[in-house]
Structure 1
């Protein structure tokens, strides 16, 4: 049995590849010529060169495969870059779904909790509509559109399941992606954390949930792969404790949040390049992105580990690989 993995050099995809190899399964990865080679070094994988935006290269990569994990995506929380994110997140998903259908393969699409509505600590959100409360930034828009594209292909006969992970940390974060938040807390004192909070999980647990979805996920069904519910303030304090950095002393107030968002948007207007801190990102960080993984726990056997252990493992990996 051979599994094709897109986004295999990213945090999620790389952990999925390693888990599949541990299980003794054959793995083929779709990777661009310009992709970082380090995540795949020493791994017994077949590399198919191509791009999810190129339907022909995706179809060639999918020939003869049994299963597909589609984790390739552009992630940027902001107002700009809609064209690029649609090309990768939406049309890329369409290309992979069409190729999986042609190959008769089972597909797991890695979406995000950002495609869902917003919950609370008392009432975490689940997989059902209404999808309300999110800031409609380009990432949220394109992840929702990608799910719609996938479900259209399911109606045409594709056996596909959607997983919606929370905010992930863990080893093999080469870029780094979400781990950059941990590194920033460790490197410099940031006195004020964002107001909101989110569901935080270990990427290795998410990878296990994805493989379980390959094995037994129901067609056309969503599964939230979450974890612990933390405010950003508490999360940053944990990062500081593990990395021996300086913990924040409070949460950003409304005036500071407005000022930071306006400053980021002004930088975008002046330079044409949107910084990570912009009004969309500030708006998203004000929300409490809390989600229930009950369905995945019941149907996929999804389990989560202690978050402090996750942060320690992620920090140890960053130290061992020269990031910290």
Structure 2
């Protein structure tokens, strides 16, 4: 029997919401997951499991064989300086294996990238769309490898690959099992800060993004990029909204240079001492000073991308975390 969709990264925020959207549409779904992956995110869901890793070429080929479309959500999203080899393996080589397998099978792949792979606004008044040129400002390993993974997909387009690239913004919503971007909300609840980063984000709902990704698979134009972003707001505004939702004291000020230096380079120093890399490091601080403001007009026109309010996304993410006993 032919399977409608293969979803990679199905235990992550985007992938898990994708699986649920597909099942609601009565699609048949296969997932590629590591042996060590938690079964909890997919408990009770009617999916076919293939055990393997996107970095295993043979496992990818097995997973892709017999499906009509691949939604490639698997990625290492850590923002830092020290994970280049690991992120090249997962983000670049994994994407190459998936795209090659899709090309071999003659099926479409939707590469789920990030707005972090795009140029950034030079000021809060500028909004970036798909036609913007230039490199992202940050050279952290996540940004570099997401750009490289996109380049692999574009390269294979010339060889006949049927591919669409989507670039989601900062996503919140339910089913954030790891958690991923929801860590920001949990951190504000558990460790409220009087200061917030100086930059801005494009906040969106992962459920809206997942629905648009399926639309991209169904009717997206081959070789085209679609930004799936949302409300362009400063981090100060976003953190204040999150704090109000979780009942924490909201931040009042933007982070000054001294705080940025202490937080960023203090995290780097701790990483060198401990042999790891903490979540808060100078790469994260650098990116949080930038204005990641994006325009989703193309996706709204061509994919019928519809976005709910970011406040609703914050509320629903928080209610889900409470229901699943994260707080």
The separation in 2 between residues aligned to 1:240 and 1:262, in whole angstroms, is 26
The answer for the alignment partner of 2:53 in structure 1 is: 51
The separation in 2 between residues aligned to 1:199 and 1:134, in whole angstroms, is 17
The Cα of 1:59 is off from its aligned counterpart by: 0.2
The answer for the alignment partner of 2:176 in structure 1 is: 173
The answer to whether residue 299 in structure 2 is matched with residue 296 in structure 1 is yes
The answer to whether residue 154 in structure 2 is matched with residue 151 in structure 1 is yes
**Of 269-278 and 143-152, the range deviating more from structure 2:** 269-278
Contact 1:90 1:143 in 2 (8 A): yes
The separation in 1 between residues aligned to 2:157 and 2:49, in whole angstroms, is 27
1:197-276 alignment, distance < 5 Å: 197-276=200-279
The answer for the alignment partner of 2:42 in structure 1 is: 40
Contact 2:192 2:243 in 1 (8 A): no
The Cα of 1:129 is off from its aligned counterpart by: 4.1
The Cα of 1:212 is off from its aligned counterpart by: 0.5
The separation in 2 between residues aligned to 1:245 and 1:75, in whole angstroms, is 27
The answer for the alignment partner of 1:14 in structure 2 is: 16
The Cα of 1:262 is off from its aligned counterpart by: 1.5
The Cα of 1:128 is off from its aligned counterpart by: 2.4
The Cα of 1:271 is off from its aligned counterpart by: 1.6
Query: Normalised by the size of structure 1, how large is the TM-score?
Result: 0.98
The answer for the alignment partner of 1:23 in structure 2 is: 25
The separation in 2 between residues aligned to 1:301 and 1:33, in whole angstroms, is 37
The answer for the alignment partner of 1:61 in structure 2 is: 63
Query: What secondary structure sits across from 2:67 in the alignment?
Result: coil
* Cα offsets for 1:159-208 (capped at 9, x unmatched): 00000000000000000000010011011221111111110100000001
Query: What secondary structure sits across from 2:201 in the alignment?
Result: strand
* Cα offsets for 1:250-309 (capped at 9, x unmatched): 111012112221211111221221111111111100001000001111111111001111
Query: Normalised by the size of structure 2, how large is the TM-score?
Result: 0.97
Contact 2:116 2:136 in 1 (8 A): no
Aligned residues: 324
The Cα of 1:157 is off from its aligned counterpart by: 0.8
Structure 1: runs of 5+ lacking an equivalent = none
1:268-287 alignment, distance < 5 Å: 268-287=271-290
315, 318, 321: which one aligns with 2:321: 318
Please identify runs of 4+ aligned residues in structure 1 that moved more than 4 A.
Answer: none
The answer for the alignment partner of 2:75 in structure 1 is: 73
Contact 1:73 1:89 in 2 (8 A): yes
